[in-house]
Amino acid sequence: MTTAITSESIINIQADAVVIGISGDALSGAAAELNDATAGGLQSLIDSKKAKTCAGKVTSWLQPQGIQAPVVLIVGLGDNPTAGDCYKAGGAAAKSLGNSQLETVAFYFPELDHALLESAVAGSVVGSTGQDLHKKKPSLFRPQQILWATDNSDAVANGSKIGSGVNPTRELVNQPPNYIYPESFAEQTAQLAELENVTVEIWDKARLESENCGSLLGVAQGSDFEPRLVIIRYRGNDSENPAMAIVGKGVTYDSGGLSLKPSEGQKTMKCDMAGAATVVGTIKAVAELGAPCHIVGLVGLVENMVSGNSYRLGDILTSRNGKTIEVLNTDAEGRLVLADVLDVTLGLNPDHIVDLATLTGACCVALGLDIAGLFTNDQSWCDQIVNSAAEVGEEVWQLPMTHHFSDQLKSKIADLRNIGAGRWGGAITAAKFLEEFVGDASWTHIDIAGPAYADSAKSYIDGGASGVLVRTLVNMARGM
Ligand code: BES
Ligand code: MN
Ligand code: ZN
């Protein structure tokens, strides 16, 4: 699929479909032209509420008289379009165009500022891509070409690069766990090194052993797949230290280990490497945008399995920073993986750290399935992330890091235990555990257990992986 701009009018363009974006305002630009050419047809659809202006609402209008294209999709942008509205509108239109294989579709949105247009374009790239990776006949067809009626070719090119960062994240997550396991994930990540200014370093099991990553290795030992740790560096300027390290949980499948999850809980646990996939998609987009920043991504890749060699409840693991951990639940594995990856991260001296992890079901209980939880030891760093998310229209909410949660992590036999005392506040105890491994570095943890993966489709995106927070992180990197 290619994305380009067009200067052809909505009346004359030869396309399989045109998309007209409408907000609450009076019709202007392409919408007014379309309305005139169709003898007031567009306005009457709006007046009769057959076409709605709320963000992401799509109405198809077949065979309108007076224009060349055989189909018009009317898509709502909301009353005062935000970046989130534009992403949804672009996505919803592209997704509804995906019912059949089209060659060219053309988008006519009202005059949007640069950031909003980027979001709309990114949405169209994401919305046209489905989770049908292993179907003979796709359930969502991508048009061969998407045209945008604008002269802002930069916004279109950038939006398309951002969408092309969200999609590989989704694809990595959507691929089943017999396809994506630590080694194959690392191999795919190695391809990023083909991009300008990107280098990729892969630590295999032997290296992880020599680096004393006992916490990560403990989780990995029950699997026939060997673990990996990958360090991806993007140097878009010559600053000595990375401005930001992005760390991802990469549990390619989480059975729960001996603390086995019930079948229902296991079904979607291929998504447990979404944090790692977010790191990969973010760096890909940032490198393709050529942003003048220096950032580094680290992912810890393991599979959490049951076997005669699994780690046990009661085992004591020695993490890379020397702290010992009593394992009391093998399903609280993400924090054990991240403990060592965070310690490796400290050695790279980043100005700030952000980690992403499908870490706790408790975070879904707290915030639902659409909002990511934030936890920090540095309020101003967390605020930067909150602001960046608001700019691109992704939903995040900060949860407290009150000190008494740490008491729950005390062990009688080791420095720490890997679970809290009960189930209440489980997202916070998990964050408190991670905090033990970041020293005085400026750090924010993002629990994406809710929004990373959806059982069913939304109007603007297929079901499965969402690629959540790639856009927020790309937006941050571009400002560094
Ligand atoms: N990967 C899960 C968390 C998860 C749950 C992600 C649902 C996505 C959807 C994590 O490893 C886990 O199992 N956490 C446990 C922690 C508990 C044992 C303290 C949980 O949330 O139940
Ligand atoms: Mn688990
Ligand atoms: Zn997990």
- CATH number of residue 356's parent domain: 3.40.630.10
What is the distance between the alpha carbons of residues 410 and 223, in angstroms, rounded to a whole number? 28
Q: Give nearest CA residue, ligand 1 atom 5.
A: 361
What is the distance between the alpha carbons of residues 413 and 409, in angstroms, rounded to a whole number? 12
C-alpha 204 to ligand 2 mean position (Å): 22
Distances (CA, A) of 352 to 116, 280, 334, 442: 27, 18, 21, 5
CB 45 within 8 A of CB 64: no
Which of the residues are catalytic?
A: 261, 335
pLDDT at 419: 97
C-alpha 334 to ligand 1 mean position (Å): 8
Do 144 and 177 lie in a common domain?
no
Residue 21 β-bridge partners: 75
Do 295 and 336 lie in a common domain?
yes
C-alpha 10 to ligand 1 mean position (Å): 49
Do 63 and 195 lie in a common domain?
no
pLDDT at 460: 97
CB 416 within 8 A of CB 432: no
Ligand with an atom nearest the CA of residue 418? 1
Walk along the chain (480 residues) in steps of 10 and give the mean pLDDT of each run: 96 98 92 97 96 95 95 96 97 96 97 96 98 96 97 98 98 98 98 98 98 98 98 98 98 98 98 98 98 98 98 98 98 98 98 98 98 98 98 98 93 97 94 98 98 97 98 98
Ligand with an atom nearest the CA of residue 264? 1
394: number of CA atoms within 13 Å, CB side? 29
Question: Residue 28 gets which letter from DSSP?
Answer: -
Do 387 and 258 lie in a common domain?
yes
Do 123 and 175 lie in a common domain?
no
pLDDT at 320: 98
What is the distance between the alpha carbons of residues 89 and 96, in angstroms, rounded to a whole number? 11
What is the distance between the alpha carbons of residues 162 and 439, in angstroms, rounded to a whole number? 33
Tokens of 432: 């408190």
What is the distance between the alpha carbons of residues 334 and 444, in angstroms, rounded to a whole number? 16
The answer to the question of residue 364 being in a domain is: yes
User: Whose CA is closest to 87, among 51, 130, 52, 116?
Assistant: 116
The answer to the question of residue 20 being in a domain is: yes
The answer to the question of residue 157 being in a domain is: no
pLDDT at 423: 87
Q: Which of 120, 151, 182 is the last residue in one of the domains?
A: 151
Do 286 and 323 lie in a common domain?
yes
Do 73 and 186 lie in a common domain?
no
The answer to the question of residue 160 being in a domain is: no
pLDDT at 347: 98
Do 91 and 221 lie in a common domain?
no
CB 182 within 8 A of CB 301: yes
The answer to the question of residue 159 being in a domain is: no
C-alpha 334 to ligand 3 mean position (Å): 5
Is-above-0.85 flag for pTM? yes
3-state SS class at 39: coil
User: Whose CA is closest to 279, among 327, 237, 229?
Assistant: 229
Do 140 and 172 lie in a common domain?
no
Question: Which atom of ligand 1 is nearest to 429's Cα?
Answer: 19
What is the distance between the alpha carbons of residues 162 and 285, in angstroms, rounded to a whole number? 5
Domain CATH number, residue 62: 3.40.220.10
Do 345 and 473 lie in a common domain?
yes
Domain around 458: 167-478
Count how many domains the chain has.
2
Q: Give nearest CA residue, ligand 1 atom 7.
A: 361
The answer to the question of residue 162 being in a domain is: no
Q: Which of 98, 124, 151 is the last residue in one of the domains?
A: 151
CA angle, 175 then 181 then 183, to 5°: 125
Q: Which of 119, 151, 183 is the last residue in one of the domains?
A: 151
The answer to the question of residue 273 being in a domain is: yes
Distances (CA, A) of 372 to 96, 378, 447: 27, 18, 6
Do 180 and 258 lie in a common domain?
yes
In short, whether 449's Cβ falls inside 6 Å of ligand 1 is yes
CB 475 within 8 A of CB 391: yes
What is the distance between the alpha carbons of residues 399 and 281, in angstroms, rounded to a whole number? 26
Do 108 and 209 lie in a common domain?
no
Pairing of strands 244-254, 294-304: parallel
Non-local (6+) Cβ contacts of 66 within 8 A are: 11, 37, 38, 39, 41
Burial of residue 100 (CB within 10 Å: 0-12, 13-18, 19+) is exposed
Q: Which of 360, 364, 405, 408 to mutate to test the pocket of ligand 1 (most atoms within 8 A of CB)?
A: 360
Ion ligand 3, residues whose Cβ is below 5 A away? 251, 254, 272, 334
**Residue matched to tokens 């060659």:** 103
The answer to the question of residue 288 being in a domain is: yes
